[in-house]
Amino acid sequence: MGTLTYGQVLARFGHALSDATRARVLLALRDAPGYPADLADLLGVSRQSLSNHLACLRGCGLVVAVPQGRRTRYELADPRLGHALGDLLGVVLAVEASTCPADVSGECR
């Protein structure tokens, strides 16, 4: 495993946050560690979809899987990620609709 540059770390974080479901997973894990079935129910997504998002978040290095007997618990890879998410939630954005039209999820198209 190599060391990432600051730009690479931010790119991984940005990729994770570029999908609304992954962002919601990170916010849920910011509150407390969770199990896939519980997270899928909480977020209203299929278990398969959640599994794909968790795999992406693991690949980005943002979450870790902690085996617990026959189950696996997921949590943020570093507690500072929770603080970073909190800081991002406090940012006020001035969005120009003409250059970043939002879809129904609030994401730029």
pLDDT in tens, 44-87: 999 999 999 999 999 999 999 999 999 999 999 999 999 999 99
| pLDDT bracket for residue 43 (50, 70, 90) | very high
| pLDDT bracket for residue 94 (50, 70, 90) | confident
Please state the pTM of the whole predicted model.
0.83
What pLDDT was estimated at residue 68? 95
- Average model confidence (pLDDT) for the chain? 90
Compute the half-sphere exposure of residue 35: CA atoms within 13 Å on the CB side of its CA.
Answer: 8
CATH for 6-89 is 1.10.10.10
Give the dihedral sign, CA 98/103/108/109. Answer: negative
What pLDDT was estimated at residue 4? 81
Residue 38 has pLDDT above 70, yes or no: yes
Q: What angle do CA 55, 77, 89 make, to 5 degrees?
A: 95
Go through 14-42 and write b for each residue having 16 or more CB atoms within 10 A of its CB, e for each that does not.
eebeeeebbbbbbebbbeeebebeebbee
Residues 16, 76 contacting (CB under 8 angstroms): no
DSSP states of 40-65: HHHHT--HHHHHHHHHHHHHTTSEEE
